[in-house]
Structure 1
Amino acid sequence: MTRDYSERPAPGAPDFLFEERDSVGSTNALCFERARAGHAGNLWIRAGEQTEGRGRRGRDWSSPVGNLFASLLLIDPKPVERIGELPLVAAVALAESVDKAAGTLHLVQLKWPNDLLVDGAKLSGILLEAELLADGRQAVVIGFGVNCISHPPLTMYQATDLRSLGFNVSAERMFEALASSLSSQLEGWRQQGGFETTRKNWLNRAAHLGKVISVKTAREEISGIFADLDARGHLVLKQEDGGVRTIYAGDVFFPGE
């Protein structure tokens, strides 16, 4: 029987379109294919598995059947000057959706900019990518991977999954909760001053806030007390000499990692 891959309203977010696939190389890559072909955006693509999943900085992302792999295509998201805030918007939405799907309250903590942790172990990954299309439109894709029923045993970071934590959450249920939460978060973000609410919600779940952390940037490794997020979501470190450093991009490491 031929599978119907046509678009339909997204479960949990009927104002968005939804395409479901059994297996793809990468849901992010497929979203960009749709964008280059002229798609208007607001499109979710979910796959049962990925054969070429990837994370931040080109790292591989393990993508076995049963976990959630989904990406959202946005075209010319507004306000354009604040697109850099979207990783934190996505993180807050995913954290809320885990609670919604699992029936928990603040199960996860957030590691800057958008990793979800449970007792220090990584539960999910978020990859945001952007591309200027040939017709001048900007395509932004937010990819999500959530360990619902399994996690890789050997990774750069300790990992976990919802089943191992005692929660029976299917990829379908996780996706519906995510689509609903992200729709609400994006609507709030678009409002004047909307990111301040996102920032506060992110900080309410922040891992190691007020404690010493290290950040590896492209040029150096910096240590200091995780003091705050600035108004644009950048990491603020307080250093031993009393000075303050603002980090715009980098990998965060906690003591012992």
Structure 2
Amino acid sequence: MSTNPDWPQGHERLVLSETDSTMAEALRRLPDLKAPTWILALRQTAGRGRRGRAWVDPSGNFAATLLQRLDEPPQQLALRSFVAALALHEALMGLTGLEAGFALKWPNDVLLNGGKLSGILLESPGQGVLSLGIGVNLRASPPADPAAAFPPVNLRTETGLTIQPEALLDHLAPAFATWDQRLRTYGFDPIRTAFLQRVTRLGQTLVARTMTEEVQGTFETIDATGSLVLRTAQGPRAIPAADIFFP
């Protein structure tokens, strides 16, 4: 357990010196899960991102997964990606004391000075189970991907600040618990409003690439289900999942 007095009550905290992937570690620990558990790895050897992509994780970066049981339908579980993004944004601003530079990218990335600082991955390995993986480039950036919309950046290079992974976890966990309680109490609307206040490129033209098509339009809003809403020449389009790029 954490000695941090702000640590959310009833949540376990597990820090590993090394593992293959915190998402894989969460899956292995699922049969014995008795309480929501944050799993932090100080070194991750086989991290992964969305759609099975590799997540390169140099030493000193942040890699953690929250594993919990939630008696909710899948569409409600999926809204935790927005909760996680808001919590991470809040934790990073609190730790760094920086008011400018941080922004959100739909559906759940945190950007710093226009570059990709983090990635968030949601999976449901069983009914009512949520694995929420979060990776943050605290000290080093992975190699740039020419196909990516935003170049990778890291906190130390961009700000000159060195943040320890354990310190970020101790700020992230209570922030997540607070935003999550808002979702449970008031529904998605306040989460959606807060996300839109922090999201990048709102009102600008972007391209959404799904598994089957490419849609270009103006980023108009996020709807009540968390879908991206684009204003296109054919009218508004709600897109539940996509990679976004900018022409």
- Does residue 218 in structure 1 map to residue 211 in structure 2? yes
- Does residue 251 in structure 1 map to residue 243 in structure 2? yes
1:226: how far off? 0.3
Q: Out of 115, 137, 145, which is 2:135 matched to?
A: 145
Tell me the TM-score normalized by structure 2.
Answer: 0.92
- Does residue 232 in structure 1 map to residue 225 in structure 2? yes
Moved more, 84-93 or 10-19: 10-19
- Does residue 171 in structure 1 map to residue 165 in structure 2? yes
Matched-pair identity in %: 36
Distance 2:206 2:106 in 1: 11
Moved more, 228-237 or 153-162: 153-162
Alignment of 1:73-152 (within 5 A): 73-78=67-72, 81-132=75-126, 137-152=127-142
Unaligned runs of 5+ in 1: 1-7
Task: Specify the SS of the correspondent of 1:249.
Answer: coil
Task: Specify the SS of the correspondent of 1:131.
Answer: coil
Q: CA 1:65–1:77 in 2, change beyond 3 Å: closer, same or farther? A: farther
Distance 2:3 2:18 in 1: 18
Task: Specify the SS of the correspondent of 1:54.
Answer: coil
- Does residue 34 in structure 1 map to residue 24 in structure 2? no
- Does residue 20 in structure 1 map to residue 15 in structure 2? yes
Contact 1:102–1:168 under 8 Å retained in 2: no
Task: Specify the SS of the correspondent of 1:190.
Answer: helix
Q: What CA deviation, in whole Å up to 9, does each residue of 1:116-143 have, x standing for no partner?
A: 11232100010111022xxxx5221100
Q: CA 1:234–1:106 in 2, change beyond 3 Å: closer, same or farther? A: farther
Contact 1:125–1:146 under 8 Å retained in 2: yes
The AA in structure 1 aligned to 2:128 is Q
Moved more, 151-160 or 194-203: 151-160
Q: Out of 42, 45, 51, which is 1:48 matched to?
A: 42
1:254: how far off? 1.7
Distance 1:89 1:59 in 2: 23
Q: Please identify runs of 4+ aligned residues in structure 1 that moved more than 3 A.
A: 9-12, 77-81
Task: Specify the SS of the correspondent of 1:90.
Answer: helix
Unaligned runs of 5+ in 2: none
Contact 1:97–1:178 under 8 Å retained in 2: yes
CA RMSD of aligned residues (A): 1.6
1:145: how far off? 0.5
1:64: how far off? 1.6
The AA in structure 2 aligned to 1:182 is F
1:77: how far off? 4.6
Tell me the TM-score normalized by structure 1.
Answer: 0.89
Moved more, 103-112 or 195-204: 103-112
Q: CA 1:80–1:187 in 2, change beyond 3 Å: closer, same or farther? A: farther
1:92: how far off? 0.8
More strand by share: 1
